Structure 1
Amino acid sequence: MLPGAVRAATRRKPNIVLILADDLGWGDLGSYGARLIRTPALDRMAREGIRLTDAYASANVCTPSRAGLLTGRYPIRTGLAYDVIRASDTIGLPPGEVTIAEMLKPDYATALIGKWHLGHVAPYWPPTVQGFDLFFGLPYSHDMTPLSLYEAHAPGVELTREDVDFARLTERFFDRGFRFIETNRAKPFFLMMALTAPHYPLVPNPDHAGHSPAAAYGQVVEEVDAGVGRLFARLARLGIDRDTLVIVTSDNGPWFEGSSGPLRDRKGGGGWDGGFRVPFIARQPGRIAPGRTSAALSMNIDLLPTLAAWTGRPLPAVELDGRDIGALLRSGGPSPHEDLLLFDNESVAAIRTAHWKYVRRSYYRTVDLPLSDHGYDLLFDLRVDPAETYNVSSLHADVMADMRARAARADARFGAFARGPRKKVG
């Protein structure tokens, strides 16, 4: 154990700040190879904590990914695996699902600042029905209408008076998060900051406009980085820096802009890594050894069981798909996963192991292409081909047989949860 870790652990339960960017690409941060976007605060966070290179979202679009993150379960279990919730939809995260916020109660003050996108009608709305004491933000993506900022304190929801100022939205979210931290600095808190940046449309803050060679996208990401720098300064000023676990990640890969680095494809792109693999940086001085980079497998479904162990809270009495990656975060230990399933809508589109990537679903023009149905499922050796460019199934028949067997077991296990496309309203 690191020096001072016992003192830090026994002084108080750790605070948690989870910053979830929207459509931030794997290659959009300096520590992940970005050259046109400057992210000094996040790069410093990586040096002072751990950076995961093989962290995955549980979906390649945002609603199912957020459902997986908050519940520790593959989103197909919650009925939210297909597409995203539209403004006309009346579905949401089932009230019986246990979120991270609910798992942390009653020990923690809890807040969700930013985008919810897990249901905007009763009984799924507002997020205070799922364990959050405070909600300040948007019901869904900021490219959907009608759109307003809401603030909710259990049990009701109140529309804020001001209109949505897109250029100042990230600034507003950070400022509201800081107010929550100030109010609850003397007790354990969980703050989830689900930013809308850098999801399209891109409206840079005037204070950051023109500052990035990556144009509007870069300016928006650099403002997020500046907010992270402000966060660490605030935690230090309040004397709770060492008591606070901070995690920064993304809900899926980049959309129209942004970088997936060397990874193939992007948001919504079948079973390819560019839509699923995301940046993931974690930092807590005295509890996470600094300066580490790990290629161990993880997924956002791991956050609930990891935070349960991190805070000493019991796990919910449900079947979880996530695993505790606390040892990985603290000291770069091995992954607890033998494999990860990558769902495209309600289909298992790919399977990832430490060495191999099996892909059986893609898109071609307007066709959702089940490759395995055409006898053309693919195998990639990610140790030498992280871009998934050359199919090596003919060289590794034994691995291919194993992957097909894993896929068959996954189909049998999760197929009963599939609900199919939702009927459109109107």
Structure 2
Amino acid sequence: MVFISKRSSRLLLSVLTAIGVGLSISAWIMKPAPTPPPNIVLFFMDDLGYGDLSCTGALDYTTPNLDRMAAEGTRFTNFLAAQAVCSASRAALLTGCYPNRLGISGALGPNSPIGLNPNEETLADLLKEKGYATGMFGKWHLGDNKQFLPLQQGFDEYYGVPYSHDMWPLHPAQAQANYPALRWIDGNEPKQEIKNLDDASQITGTITERAVSFIRNHKKKPFFLYVPHPLPHVPLAASPKFKGKSTRGIFGDVLTELDWSVGQILGELKQQGIDKNTLVIFISDNGPWLNYGDHAGSSGGFREGKGTSFEGGHRVPCLVRWPGVVPAGRVSNKLLTTMDVLPTVVKLCGARLPKQQIDGVDWIALLKGDNTVTPRDHFYYYYRKNSLEAVRQGDWKLVFPHPGRTYEGFLPGQGGKPGPSTETHEFPAGLYDLRRDPGERYDVREQHPELVAKLEKLAEEARADLGDDLQKRTGANVREPGRISK
């Protein structure tokens, strides 16, 4: 038996206490600081085609900043716009829903009586609730009435144009249209008029300056920066600094300036020391408006373009960069859509999902490099007000007979004026294997009747849920758009 005096006991207790305190301090010092939630920068181009970046095949101009973004991140080659038209596509991006679920279709004009319902929870709403600063600089196009503008849809700051900048008195194809003056909107207030192409040439630079300023002002807290550039939608205009910079003409000049814009914003993230904690996503709202010819982009060889349910209308570039999180130099061919941005971003940022039903899927595992996962199984190609024109599962796409737009068989326009096209071409049914036939040229229905039956069943699920104007069906889960309060 060992006897310890009171004095020794007190000394031992003091030593042990000191050791314990030291270990606690050491553990506290060594414990890593909690990782702050990521900043989000979301670029959304207008009418940019799949083939309009030099890393996707563009010729006669280069997009070095976007090519670098692809090299430092992941390029997704099977990424689809939810619908191949302006307002519908934007509604899907910000809500994670098929736009026809929200009652939004087509391209809303000036003084539209409807807009995105403020009861819908947007990506900005959800991130703002989580403490994010939210800013948007660019084209809105989800209702130009004050009750529909971005400040009422979750954004703290907004500076941009309320709809497409061809919706003005100088429209080359609709010169007699009774369009009002096109004005910049600052917050909720109309500001200076965009009167002509010289004014329009300042659009990209102005948006870029506002976006860079937003980063500087909010660098010390998490932020969501949404940059929906109005260009390269027609009418095309480049600032004097970029005119004549490419051998592709004005379209190449515009793309050169848009690439510069991306470079300025990426550079500011690095300058402020927040580059490595920022997820940057670059996508487009739909494919190119092909009948504008030399003022339009390239679908990259996919069939048709904007305003159609073929791949040229829906397949868009998608670049994602987040140093140390998203693998660099990777190409992923998994099927994804603009609707999948919201559920992915809110989960990454620790925010909640919307309370109402959405259609997007979370692709975080794929984003971070797990190529074994397949986040999205199928996709519905809706167009016009609510017409189901095709369905896709995996690499198989079944197109239903439908009237629609075609650019094929018409000479494209020149010099900013559109060539002819038709909205009433009767497309026949067809089954396409997008692995071997991404141009959708060879109908293989007779060879795969079991696949036709499987995809027809999928279409029936879509019609029950969302409806189908072609079959005069009403969906059970379609919500109302916002309507101007009287």
TM-score by length of 2: 0.80
Per-residue deviation at 1:369? 5.5
Aligned residue identity for 2:300: G
**Aligned-partner SS, 1:263:** coil
**Deviation (angstroms), 1:419:** 9.9
- The amino acid that maps onto 1:359 is V
| Counterpart check, 1:348 vs 2:388 | yes
Letter in 2 for 1:87: P
Distance 1:37 1:296, change over 3 A: same
Counterpart selection for 2:368 from 330, 338, 345: 330
SS in 1 for 2:77: strand
Give the conservation status (yes or no) of the 8 Å contact 1:105–1:131. yes
CA spacing shift, 1:382–1:9, aligned 2, 3 Å: farther
Structure 2 residue identity aligned to 1:325? W
Residue in structure 2 matching 1:23, options 43, 47, 62? 47
Distance 2:111 2:119 in 1: 23
- 1:222 positional shift: 1.1
- Secondary structure of 2:225 counterpart: strand
Alignment check: 8 A CA contact 1:292 1:332 kept: no
- Identify the match of residue 148 of structure 1 among 170, 174, 183: 183
2-structure distance, mates of 1:176, 1:390? 47
2:159 is equivalent to residue 136 of structure 1 = yes
> Can you list the C-alpha shifts for 1:317-338, whole angstroms capped at 9, x where unaligned?
1111000111121115333111
Structure 1 residues 367 and 229, CA, compared in 2 at 3 Å: closer, same or farther? closer
**Corresponding letter in the other structure for 1:129:** Q
Q: Is the contact between residue 46 and residue 228 of structure 2 (CA under 8 Å) also seen in structure 1?
A: yes
Corresponding residue SS for 2:316? strand
What is the CA-CA distance between 1:350 and the residue it aligns to? 1.4
CA distance in 1, matches of 2:69, 2:377: 29
Report the alpha carbon displacement of residue 349 of structure 1 after superposing the two structures with TM: 1.2
- The CA distance in 2 between the partners of 1:33 and 1:96, in whole Å, is 41
- 1:88 CA drift (Å): 3.7
The correspondence for 1:191, drawn from 216, 222, 225, is: 225
Partners of 2:370 and 2:237 lie apart in 1 by 38
Q: Secondary structure at the match of 1:149?
A: strand
Query: How do residues 214-293 of structure 1 correspond to structure 2 at under 5 angstroms?
Result: 214-255=248-289, 256=292, 257-269=296-308, 271-293=309-331
Deviation at 1:221, TM superposition (A): 1.0
Question: Do the aligned residues in 1 keep the contact of 2:279 with 2:321 (CA within 8 Å)?
Answer: yes
Aligned pair 1:399/2:433, yes or no?
Answer: no
Superposed CA offset, 1:60-117 (max 9, x none)? 1010000000000000111112x21011421100111000000112310001100000
Runs of 4+ in structure 1 displaced over 4 angstroms? 161-164, 364-367, 417-420
Superposed, which structure 2 residues align to 1:305-384 within 5 Å? 305-333=343-371, 334-345=373-384, 346-360=386-400, 361-363=402-404, 366=422, 368=424, 371=427, 376-384=428-436
Question: Residue 275 of structure 2: SS of its match in structure 1?
Answer: coil
Q: Does 1:42 find its partner at 2:55?
A: no
Residues of 2 paired with 1:8 and 1:286: CA distance? 17
Q: Does 1:174 align with 2:208?
A: yes
Report the alpha carbon displacement of residue 144 of structure 1 after superposing the two structures with TM: 0.9
Contact 1:8 1:243 in 2 (8 A): no
What is the DSSP-based 3-state SS (H/G/I as helix, E as strand, rest coil) of the residue aligned with 2:312?
A: helix
The answer as to whether partners of 2:182 and 2:193 remain within 8 angstroms in 1 is: no
Name the CA shift for 1:70/1:356 in 2 (closer, same or farther; >3 Å). Answer: same
Q: CA deviation at 1:161?
A: 4.5
Q: Which has the larger radius of gyration?
A: 2
1:362 Cα deviation (Å)? 4.9
**Consecutive unaligned residues in structure 2, runs of 5 or more:** 1-30, 169-180, 407-420, 468-473, 481-486
- In the alignment, the residues of structure 2 paired with residue 318 and residue 183 of structure 1 have an alpha-carbon distance, to the nearest angstrom, of 33
Distance 1:10 1:55, change over 3 A: farther
Secondary structure at the aligned position of 2:220 is classed as coil
Distance 1:332 1:209, change over 3 A: farther
Q: Is the 8 A contact 1:294 1:332 kept in 2?
A: no
Give the Cα separation in 2 of the matches to 1:66 and 1:39.
24
Work out the CA distance in 2 between the residues paired with 1:48 and 1:8. 26
Q: 2:190 aligns with which of 138, 159, 163?
A: 159
Deviation sequence 1:229-266 (CA, Å, 0-9, x none): 11121111110000111111000001131000020000
> Which letter does structure 1 place at the counterpart of 2:254?
V
Query: Using the alignment, how far apart are the partners of 1:9 and 1:219 within structure 2?
Result: 45
Q: Structure 1's 303 and 9: CA in aligned 2 closer, same or farther, altered over 3 A?
A: farther
1:206 to 240, 248, 269: 240
Letter of the 1:181 partner, please give it: I
Deviation larger for 327-336 or 317-326: 327-336
Which ranges of structure 1 fall in alignment gaps of 5 or more residues?
A: 1-6, 421-426
Q: Which amino acid aligns with 2:342?
A: L
User: Does residue 478 of structure 2 align to residue 413 of structure 1?
Assistant: no
- 1:55 is aligned to 79
Return closer, same or farther for 1:10/1:343 CA change in 2, 3 Å cut-off.
farther
Contact kept? 2:340, 2:360, Cα under 8 Å = yes
Indicate conservation of the 8 Å contact 2:74/2:327, yes or no: yes
Q: Which residue of 2 aligns with 1:4?
A: none
Structure 1 distance, partners of 2:353, 2:479, is 27
Q: Please state how far the C-alpha of 1:407 moved relative to its aligned partner.
A: 1.2
1:114·1:137 contact (CA, 8 Å) conserved in 2? yes
Residue 275 and residue 117 in structure 1: after superposition, are their counterparts in 2 closer, same or farther (change >3 A)? same
Work out which of the residue numbers 282, 286, 294 in structure 1 matches 2:332.
294
The residue type paired with residue 118 of structure 1 is L
What is the CA–CA distance in structure 2 between the aligned matches of 1:58 and 1:37, rounded to whole Å? 28
Q: Tell me the matched-pair count.
A: 403
The alignment's TM-score, normalised by the length of structure 1, stands at 0.91
Paired amino acid for 2:91 = A
- Residues 241-292 of structure 1: per-residue CA shift (max 9 Å, x gap): 00111111000001131000020000002x2010111100000101111111
Q: What's the CA shift for 1:367?
A: 5.4
Distance 1:105 1:412, change over 3 A: same
* Amino acid corresponding to residue 395 of structure 1 in structure 2: Q
The answer as to whether partners of 2:101 and 2:479 remain within 8 angstroms in 1 is: no
The residue type paired with residue 302 of structure 1 is: D
Q: Which deviations, in whole Å up to 9, do the C-alpha atoms of 1:114-158 show, x marking residues without a partner? A: 00000011421x210000000100110101132100111xxxx22
Q: Is contact 1:293–1:332 with CA below 8 Å preserved after alignment?
A: no
